[in-house]
Amino acid sequence: CCTLQRSWRGRRWSRGSFSRAGSHGWWWDGRAGSWGGHRYQGTRRQFVHRTVNFDHFQILRAIGKGSFGKVCIVQKRDTEKMYAMKYMNKQQCIERDEVRNVFRELEILQEIEHVFLVNLWYSFQDEEDMFMVVDLLLGGDLRYHLQQNVQFTEETVRLYLCEMALALDYLRSQHIIHRDVKPDNILLDEQGHAHLTDFNIATIIRDGERATALAGTKPYMAPEIFHSFLSGGTGYSFEVDWWSLGIMAYELLRGWRPYDIHSNNPVESLVQLFSTVSVQYSSTWSKEMVALLRKLLTVNPEHRFSCLADIQTSAYLSAVPWGDVCQKRLEPGFVPNKGRLHCDPTFELEEMILESRPLHKKKKRLAKNKSRDNSKDSSQSENDYLQECLEAIQQDFVIFNREKLKKSQEQMGDSTSAPESSAEAETEAEAETSNLNMCSSVCSSAGSS
């Protein structure tokens, strides 16, 4: 296998001790037996029963892949509900130094839920893979539809802006910067409503803190991220996601991005580009839309629209019925064709023909591997370090079950007549507080930043 990056070990992540470099993130306190961090102390683990595993799902077909894993459609056998299941091979994550990213994404997703996010329902593992089971959205991502030459109207993009603004405002209330808002990470449901996904480079910052890492997809990254990287300045904050939203809205309307930026552009050249190149807006767009895009694409983050209250003041969105947006009552201008699967069909062929460890053969493969492992002396393993890392993941991986969590909360709500001990009441209240306030509470406090 590839040479393992040992920096994954030691201070950054070791057996029983997960940490992320920098001041923003989480760690596993092996001695305390709980996850720690700026906000989350593992209270939900008390409500999550560790019963869901790979055998509880029927694998239907592959629909996508990325740098962190592959995605397939699954059906939960007992409820017959459909989900998307993302699975990441443990050995590949170790070799690519991606374990901490997977752990960070899981820890974030376990603590958030929103109507315009792709929400996590279950997380579990086996000997080979780590699994995330999330909402299934069959309308495809916006990148796919751009590649299919869909012509998005101002009316359609306006609703996307509203829905993503609500999602970003919710994330801000949870101290989360997404850092990768782009068409590839906006999934549509069958009705055409937008949902933000992919939190593998997201981060959490507390009040007064700033992020500093050079993270994101270059064409969508805000100028202050590059400035901070070059000058070692004060860093950046939530404003970067709203810049990305502006870039995405421009691209949907025009078919290309406002700046000619590619992944191989040097950071130094990008800093100069933002100071010399001005964005060109189409003369066919409404003045109100252009005015909003100008505020989202303001180079100085202090003057940029960067919260829900800001964009609600724009003339372009002043008449939007935000309560109806929250409840998905507005009909999207673009509705994906329900008669087709909106993804690359080669994903399924790759899984069936080219994949060396296909999911549909996992059960037989694991049984065979277990038999082989029992027949040899583990002390003679040629890759002790890899085995140590795999054992550490097995030990520290946090299993999650939102279905059981919701049932626990419902039971707590129904048992108000029975007195509770102070310790139980405190724990339950903490879990309730951290649970979803969904979109209605966001709308009710729309003036907050």
Residues 242, 306: contact at Cβ < 8 Å? Answer: yes
Catalytic one among 141, 169, 180, 396?
Answer: 180
CB atoms within 10 A of CB 214: 12
CB atoms within 10 A of CB 57: 22
Handedness of CA 6, 9, 10, 15 (dihedral sign): negative
305 vs 312: CA distance, rounded Å: 10
CB atoms within 10 A of CB 355: 15
Is-catalytic flag, 129? no
303 vs 315: CA distance, rounded Å: 17
Residue 276 has what DSSP assignment? H
Buried b or exposed e, range 257-282, using 16+ CB within 10 angstroms: bbbebeeeeeeeebbeebeeeeeebe
Alpha helices in 299-420 (DSSP H): 308-312, 322-326, 346-349, 362-374, 384-396, 402-414
Q: Which residues contact 217 (CB under 8 A, 6 or more apart)?
A: 180, 182, 184, 263
Burial (Cβ within 10 Å: 0-12, 13-18, ≥19) of residue 367:
exposed
- Phi first, then psi: what are they for 128, rounded to 5°? -100, -45
Residues 159, 332: contact at Cβ < 8 Å? Answer: yes
User: Distance of CA 256 to CAs 219, 252, 280, Å?
Assistant: 11, 8, 11
Residue 360 tokens, joined:
């549909």
Residues 130, 397: contact at Cβ < 8 Å? Answer: yes
295 a known binding residue?
A: no
DSSP states of 145-167 = HHHTT----HHHHHHHHHHHHHH
Active site residues: 180
- Binding-site residue numbers for ATP are 86
